Amino acid sequence: MNNPFAGDNSSIQRRETLARWLLRLGSYVVVALTVSIFLFITVKGLPHALKPGFLTELTSTLHVIESNDGQVFKTNPVEADVIKKQLGDNFRSEKTISYSGGGILGPIVGTALLVIVSVTVALFLGVCCAIYLSEYAKKGKFLETVRLAILNLAGVPSVVFGLFGLGAFVLTAPVLTDAPADRAIFVIPLFFTNLSFQGWDTCVLSGGFTLAFVILPVIITASEQCLQAVPQGFRETSMALGATRWQTIWRSVLPFATPGILTSTILGIARAAGETAPIMFTAALAFKDKLPWQKDLPPLPADAGMFAHWEQSVQRFLGVFTESVQALPYHIYTLAAKIPQNEYSEQAQYGSVFVFLILVASLAATSIWLRIHLRKKYKW
């Protein structure tokens, strides 16, 4: 029977098929790549990451001792001496691998501190800026210039931010001090102390501020979009009921933009946690045998009052931010590029990478969960 609706195998149809397969192929390649990265890291890193103490111990030098009867001991510097003594004549060889022993508690804590500082600074500056741009600024040349500047900021390579941080925060930023350092660029005497532009040194604060500038464009742009997504009707209604602009923003715009701002902030956290270059010159150390709050403070006299104890706690807390720290991305960089490679450094390296990946993935998951959850609450 004659079928008038039969497809003719024309070139149009062949192109349609071709296009569909090409697009499908592209998507599959992306999925395959993502999955293979995760698998690769998991296979290589999971066994090491599960070792006892990997998440709870500080980094140390790994000592690998071999005995004549073929035993292999992997241990830390202190125990290495004990084992060597026990082995006596049985001792054959000892290898030391820097930064590859112990765990990665130091880098995890350091990264957490850097993220806390950078997100606090970036969120405050970014949301202020976004609110001004979205709610107060009049459309015009100035606004376009500011937007362009923000976009450009997003395109600046992160190592440039690192050098900027070195110049601005490590070497120049002002501190209050009674005894200004010689390297201070200039000193403004105040009545009771001096404002000395001598920099904050390499520390959490310098690194956090530098990272804040890295994620600032993301936070500003995303926050502004979230503010713009709040219906204009809310603003008009609120103003028509006699609210000021700030009351309107505070009661009827910001609450409904918060889910989106939080989501973008979490993605900013993932970005800040992952950057190496900005913290290289501003905050990160390859090795540190103490946590930032384990600092030797002068012992208090036995009769010290509550106030002295309280003051020392505050000092200890603030001191955390003026310490330099280890950080996960810099730790991985050190293990992968700064020390001679062998199977032991590789294990430590992939173990850290695996933990890092899980941290970032869980941040992303939190962000998605938060968005779904808050969207449900604030629907209009």
Span of 41-49, 80-88, 119-127, 235-243 interacting with another protein by CB under 8 A: 235-243
Among 59, 221, 238, 367, binds another protein (CB under 8 A): 238
The answer to whether 120 contacts another protein (rule: CB under 8 A) is no
Among 132, 164, 197, 234, binds another protein (CB under 8 A): 234
Span of 24-32, 42-50, 229-237, 278-286 interacting with another protein by CB under 8 A: 229-237
Output the smallest distance, CB 149 to another protein, in A: 21
The answer to whether 189 contacts another protein (rule: CB under 8 A) is no
Restricting to residues 127-156, which ones interact with another protein according to CB under 8 A? 138-139
Nearer to another protein, 95 or 245 (CB): 245
The answer to whether 243 contacts another protein (rule: CB under 8 A) is yes
Output the smallest distance, CB 140 to another protein, in A: 8
The answer to whether 163 contacts another protein (rule: CB under 8 A) is no
Nearer to another protein, 85 or 138 (CB): 138
The answer to whether 375 contacts another protein (rule: CB under 8 A) is no
Among 47, 77, 233, 305, binds another protein (CB under 8 A): 233
Give the 3-state DSSP-derived string for the chain, with helices as H, strands as E and coil as C: CCCCCCCCCCHHHHHHHHHHHHHHHHHHHHHHHHHHHHHHHHHHHHHHHCCCCCCCCCEEEEEEEEECCCCEEEECHHHHHHHHHHHHHHEEEEEEEEEEEECCHHHHHHHHHHHHHHHHHHHHHHHHHHHHHHHHCCCCHHHHHHHHHHHHHHHCCHHHHHHHHHHHHHCCCEEEECCCCCCCCCEEECCCCEEEECCCCCCHHHHHHHHHHHHHHHHHHHHHHHHHHCCHHHHHHHHHCCCCHHHHHHHHHHHHHHHHHHHHHHHHHHHHHHCCHHHHCCCECCCCCCCCCCCCCCCCCCCCCHHHHHHHHHHHHHHHHCCCECCHHHHHHHHHHHCCCCHHHHHHHHHHHHHHHHHHHHHHHHHHHHHHHHHHHCCC
The answer to whether 247 contacts another protein (rule: CB under 8 A) is yes
Output the smallest distance, CB 242 to another protein, in A: 4
CA gap 53, 76 in Å, rounded: 12
Among 239, 291, 339, 364, binds another protein (CB under 8 A): 239
The answer to whether 36 contacts another protein (rule: CB under 8 A) is no
Please report the sign of the dihedral spanned by the C-alpha atoms of residue 322, residue 293, residue 339, residue 88: positive
CA gap 288, 61 in Å, rounded: 11
Cα atoms found within 13 Å of the Cα of residue 251, Cβ hemisphere only: 14
Output the smallest distance, CB 367 to another protein, in A: 22
Output the smallest distance, CB 256 to another protein, in A: 7
Contact 356, 329 (CB under 8 A): yes
Output the smallest distance, CB 342 to another protein, in A: 59
Please count the other Cβ atoms lying within 10 Å of the Cβ belonging to residue 262.
18
The answer to whether 379 contacts another protein (rule: CB under 8 A) is yes
The answer to whether 231 contacts another protein (rule: CB under 8 A) is yes
Output the smallest distance, CB 226 to another protein, in A: 15
316, amino acid identity = R
Among 242, 299, 301, 340, binds another protein (CB under 8 A): 242
- Binding-site string for another protein from residue 248 to residue 267, where x marks contact by CB under 8 A and - marks none: ---xx---x-----------
Span of 40-48, 215-223, 238-246, 327-335 interacting with another protein by CB under 8 A: 238-246
Q: Which residues bind another protein (CB under 8 A)?
A: 138-139, 231, 233-244, 247, 251-252, 256, 378-380
